[in-house]
Chain A
Amino acid sequence: MVAPAGVNPAEINLIRRIVLGRKGQKSPLIDIAQVIALGAGMIWLTLQGAQSMGYNWQWYRVPKYFWRVVDGELIWGEFVHGVLVTLEIAAWAVLISIGVGLVTALFKMSNSLAGRVLAVTYLEVIRNTPLLVQIYLMYFVISPIIGIDRLWTGIIALALYEGSFAAEIIRAGIQSVERGQWEASASIGLTQRDTYRYVVLPQAIPIMLPPLTGLFVNLIKHSSIVSVIAIFDLTTEGRNIIADTFLSFEIWFTVAAIYLSMTITLSSVVNYMEYRIRKRSW
């Protein structure tokens, strides 16, 4: 077959392969259609199930919780407020957790016995207790003692939890810098601080960036747990709307979709960053 002018024959082959499949194989489009059919089937089952329990779908009542226009004035709804609070919590928590993680990683690699004991104790305590129990402990025990408000209790609890992951990411990033780099810095007479500042961190930080962004994704997910201490994040807003309207399915599906769109978008950014780094290093 002669390709029309301006069209790459390889491209035509690729398109043909996607539509018709390789020789003797079925087309990937059939598989994709199967997945869509399965998804549609599951949605149908859900709707059927909901109908059999007499559930009355009222999707038209949902949009007003995003925004509504009253007298020509735009009023942001509960979902938007919830998303903003969730992002606020995640943003503060990621900053603090990077700080905590950095200190922990440096303590753990230091020559100081007390520093190492403190770092490892912190890591073991955080890793071996559930986040929910940490939140309760923070809310009921620590926050009255040090006197912080509810929002900051949630932020600090999340930051301490994610800080244990940040510590691992930072330690792995620093240790991924080759030994020769340290030796070279020592041989030109740099102090330990200058070695970190001019040699190690500039190489380690690009490696840390994708997993640290992944940490932010995790924080958005885990921040939903602060709804147990009544911080008005997306999950709490969702629960409140359900308490008001009994639209449990509609609201939970909407809340889930909002979380999924935030986390999947950010996850694909992480994938792209990893891809860029891999491409550059080879």
Chain B
Amino acid sequence: MSYAEIFQPRRQDGKIQVHWLDFVVIAAVAAAVWYVYIQVNTVLHYNWDWNTIPVYIFRWDVEEGRWVQNLIVQGFFITIRLSIWSIVAAAILGTIFGLFRVSPSLFLRLLGRAYVEFVRNMPPLVFIFIFYFFLSDQIMPLIGADDFVHHASPTAISIVEVLFGQANLFANFLSGLMCLALFEGAYVTEIVRAGIQSVPRGQWEAGTSIGLNRFQLLRYVVMPQAIQKIVPPLCNQFIQTIKDSSIVSLISIQELTFLSVEVAVSTTRVFEVWITAAVIYFVICWGLARLFAKLEVRMAASRG
């Protein structure tokens, strides 16, 4: 339900009705606000100091003589980069495993099922800790992320900086990305499977009867129809990815939550920092949710 709908009067004559519940709710909310106000100002004696926060969003660099982004904005961009790359990787992974899930081969079906059940039944925290130990110890040296950054040309470095954030944190970023992609991949797998299975059986049969092989069947008949069912939930999964990306702060990936912890510790302005972080996440996710909902309506309308 969107806010526009809430304010729709429910009576036929168009008047907004006043219900007894209105008074109860307003009284309860007012009491809660008053209680918090009293507690913060007279019991805790908390000194609000919102002036600290803007400094951590943008700061004046004396050496360069210009405004540069500080920790919170850096964290924001890392979160966005991390989420975009993770959902891209998860979409690839999810398409592969989603096709496994509907494959005629029992082996591939079991493989897809095992992956999905394994990830979805494991606490995200435990999953990320286990994979982090592997990634940092095994895979990172194997693909040589650190070596790459040390020996890369300045042009390559600047490309890396645009795409993945600070170059010296490239390996760190990559391990967060892999954890998140493997995690979200399981959810995308189920989205892809549901999309493919939503294509009516008759389409498969018709395709087979004109002599298409399995690849052609998927390429020309099934996937073009399935993709319409896959895209909207995939967009929602992107929002979910932004939220889940906060968990990788626990393995020291320097995104918004991690840097918020740092700012909160170094400034001791705990209330302000956490409220700011929550508001930033809310604005991104809520904005995207509204945007995707609008696009979905438009897509449905254009399809007729």
Contact = CB atoms under 8 A, between A and B. Distances in A.
Which of A46, A124, A238 neighbours the largest number of chain B CB atoms within 10 Å of its CB? A124
B281 A264 contact: no
B29 A235 contact: no
Contacts of A131: 243, 246
B149 interface: no
B130 A137 contact: no
B184 to A, nearest CB: 14
A220 B126 CA distance: 12
Contacts of B239: 128
Contacts of A137: 274-275, 278
B249 interface: yes
A112 B21 contact: yes
Contacts of A147: 39
B110 A35 contact: yes
B129 interface: yes
A224 to B, nearest CB: 4
B220 interface: no
Given A124-B286, A125-B282, A264-B121, A35 B114 contact: yes
A128 B66 CA distance: 34
A225 B25 contact: no
Contacts of A221: 121-124
- Counting chain A CB atoms within 10 Å of each CB, the highest count among B29, B114, B129 belongs to B129
A87 to B, nearest CB: 14
Given A133-B257, A137-B275, A141-B275, A35 B133 contact: no
Contacts of B270: 140-141
Interface in B283-302: 285-286, 289
B7 interface: yes
Nearest to B125: A224
Contact of A227 (B19, B125, B138): B125
A176 B102 CA distance: 30
B264 interface: yes
SS class of chain A's interface: helix, strand, loop or mixed?
A: helix
Interface string B113-128: 0100110011111110
B12 to A, nearest CB: 13
Interface stretch (A151-159, A180-188, A245-253): A245-253
A118 B29 contact: yes
A174 B160 CA distance: 52
B68 interface: no
A230 interface: no
Interface residues of A, number: 63
A220 B271 CA distance: 29
A140 B130 contact: no
Contacts of A133: 246, 257, 260, 274, 277-278, 281
B34 interface: no
Interface stretch (A56-64, A68-76, A254-262, A274-282): A254-262
B130 A225 contact: no
Contact of A114 (B21, B111, B118, B130): B21
B247 interface: yes
Contact of B1 (A120, A127, A141): A120
B36 interface: yes
Nearest to A108: B1
B282 A129 contact: yes
B123 A222 contact: yes
B79 to A, nearest CB: 10
A88 B106 CA distance: 39
B10 interface: yes
Nearest to A248: B133
Interface centre among A128, A224, A260 (most CB of B within 10 A): A128
Contacts of A39: 114
A19 B107 CA distance: 15
B281 A129 contact: yes
B51 interface: no
Contacts of A140: 264, 270-271, 274
B146 interface: no
A176 B114 CA distance: 33
Given A128-B239, A130-B281, A131-B243, 9 more contacts: A49-B138, A53-B137, A53-B138, A115-B25, A131-B246, A221-B123, A235-B126, A259-B126, A260-B121
13 contacts: A112-B21, A124-B282, A130-B257, A131-B243, A132-B247, A134-B278, A136-B261, A136-B274, A137-B275, A145-B36, A223-B123, A252-B126, A267-B121
Query: What are the 9 closest A-B residue pairs judged by CB atoms, nearest first?
Result: A112-B21, A224-B123, A31-B106, A130-B246, A128-B285, A112-B19, A31-B107, A114-B25, A130-B243
Interface of B: 1, 3, 6-7, 10, 16-22, 25-26, 29, 35-36, 39-40, 44, 105-107, 110-111, 114, 117-118, 121-127, 129-130, 133-134, 137-138, 239, 242-247, 249-250, 257, 260-261, 264, 270-271, 274-275, 277-278, 281-282, 285-286, 289
